[in-house]
Structure 1
Amino acid sequence: MLICGAVLGVAGPARAADETILYVQRTSATCTDSGPGTTAQPFCTIGAAAAAVSAGQTVVIGAGNYPERIAVAKSGTPDQPITFRSVSAGALPMIVGPTAGFVIDGQHDIKILNVRIDGTEAVPAIDIRASSGITVQAGSIQMASWATAPAIRLASVTRSWMGPFVRRAPVGGITLDANTTGVEVRSGLFSTPVDGYMRSDSAGIRVTAPGNTVVDNIVSAFGEAAIALEPDAAGTLVVNNSIGGGPGFGIRNRGATGTAITNNTVLDRCRDGIRVEGRPPASPCKTTGSSSTATSASPTALAGRRTAWRSASTAVRSVTRWSTTTTCTTSTRTRPRFMRGTGYGWVWPRSARRPARPRTTGRAKASGMSSTRRTRPLPDTRRPLATAPPASTIPAYRTPAPDR
């Protein structure tokens, strides 16, 4: 409508709040866990936002301390993941406390970006189980100095990307269990103070299952190794990683086959920079058979039989009857050991390869008696002494005449 040269417009409805974002701000005076999660009325806790979030939504966490452990029970989709992130890169929210962190169990397509976790003790800061499509990137994880769990633990996880910044983890940075495959640990930072508590078996990145990738990470410190590959981590790629100083190995492969370890930089390690070990041979001993359990008032009733029994009470004894075939027996002293620096690899001790040479007992030596275990006499290697020449062949000694 045009009136006197002026344009008059009809006012439209006000723009609705962005429904794809849920806000968390603990320090806000208007926060409530039963609210809509808007900027005017944000959630007070991250857990309340995690319970209300759905696929395609993002939980934006404001600065402040959040003493909680968040269980994410919702899943996203590959095109619409669920995201937890800080309000800005310079204002990281801090999840604090002895149980601080995230738990993702049985979910998929979730992202955790730029979140700081501090002070976790007996549980992992990020614990992911039976999940897929999980992304953990940047942020910061600082476990307690006396922590007893790794910073990140993956159990039965597939199709995921881990790139966190772990700055203190005395037990270990990230652990991939035997059922975790298809995980890419990329562009992460894993470290722990070398002057603090650090377990001798700790590793920055530990891979136990096949088909995973470790690339473009910065790793330093840790007692066993910066990057450790267990025997079943076949086909693991370890590429373009930068490894700094520490007490353990730089990269340790404990027998994983088909791995590619290339273009890594390793500096100032107290042990080998890159160590590749063979798999230990299986024990040559094999025992087959079965057992059955019966009861008897006394073990003497089974005298003469190959049995073992355990006293269950003064009146009734439990008897286990064994029917077994054992080809050989070995003790802990006859297990193979790795001969470092010899080129022989895993070697069986002499006691497992051939019988020990019989020796004379100490008792027989002390008493002068012959031993029942006869020994071969040592050869006489003494040389006969030289005899003196006859006196007739020795010239007579003459006193020299005095000088005049």
Structure 2
Amino acid sequence: CKNVPSCPHTYFTVYHLFFCPSAFLVSMLPGLKMVFSGDLFYLSCDNSAGESGVKWYFNNKEEKQTNKTWKFAVASPKHSGSYQCERNGQKSGDFNLDVMGKPHEHHASLTIKTGHPVMQYGHSVMLQLDNEDGLEGWVCWVYREGTKTKKIKFKLENRDHVVFQTTRLEVPETIFWCTDKSQNERSNQIIVRTSGGHTDISLEMYPFPAVVGETLTLKCIAWGTDQISKTVFYKGDTIIMHDAKSTYSITKVSESTQGPYRCDATYTHKARTSGPEYHRVSDIQDVFVKEPPIKAVLSEGNGLSCSCQRCPPNVSYHWYHKNDDQLWELTVMIYYICFISISVQTNNSNPIVIVICLFVVGLLAVVIALALYYQRKKRNNTSK
């Protein structure tokens, strides 16, 4: 078993299940077919006894991780590579991981419709799945640490969106996501955390990892009231804000923003007419940070300029112009797209593309001119 050559993980798993039942296997929890930047997942060293004493290797280099389960709170392209685990001198086969960093890979959007990213123990949230291409055959999944991935059943009443309620949230962290029938397309993850049952205070944050360079807002919530008179925010054991406001904003997130946060609040309820105010402390919530997504920047100088510093070479640009007159909008959009194509193809000395593009613009101009003519004529006949 130790001499089995490196091969795709699926084959390795099947081989060992039949011929090496005592060998170690690296598996992913939940079992995501595609992993996107910002996802939460775990790698587990299966068949290894005990929760510690395991060695982990990433691209053949030993890591500091020694637990049986390795948590990746925020997946990043830098995590792409080969993983192995070892115990008592026996190594697993390679587990190859590819983290996709392109934001447009998501074909559907999963959001919290009703509820919060941090809920009280035993409560639930309403989630909404949207997909412009339709949801026929789509299913949603839920994973709680230490359990198997389960399918969420819902009734599809609309073509492009569906709303469903989760079961009671009774673990610290629950992962939700949705896929099409083949699991070749999927939504983003939604992670809902719970606060302990002993407190009425929660520290709420955005349900996705904070993004470097952008704004992060933390909110201290007192369940059942907004009558908060004083709030203290902590990062670790250090006070970072002491104010009457119940929110704390970090205007420019950096790698150092990551860490454990909590808040304590002094509050009362409207129905309470006498007695001292309540004072409670929230559970600790970890803030994770990820790299900013790849995106285009529109700048204005001598005309409009579209740029993307982190995009790969030979990237194509599409221009869009929003206008109340849809015919004019279509003309401008086609013109901009052809203009970019002409610029690129001129450098490659390909006149055929230029001629085709000019022909398309000319033909479109004629069609639009005729449409406007008949529209104006119809309007004049109506007014007579």
What TM-score do you get using the length of structure 2 for normalisation? 0.17
Which structure has more RCO (C-alpha within 8 Å, separation ≥ 6)? 2
Larger Rg: 1
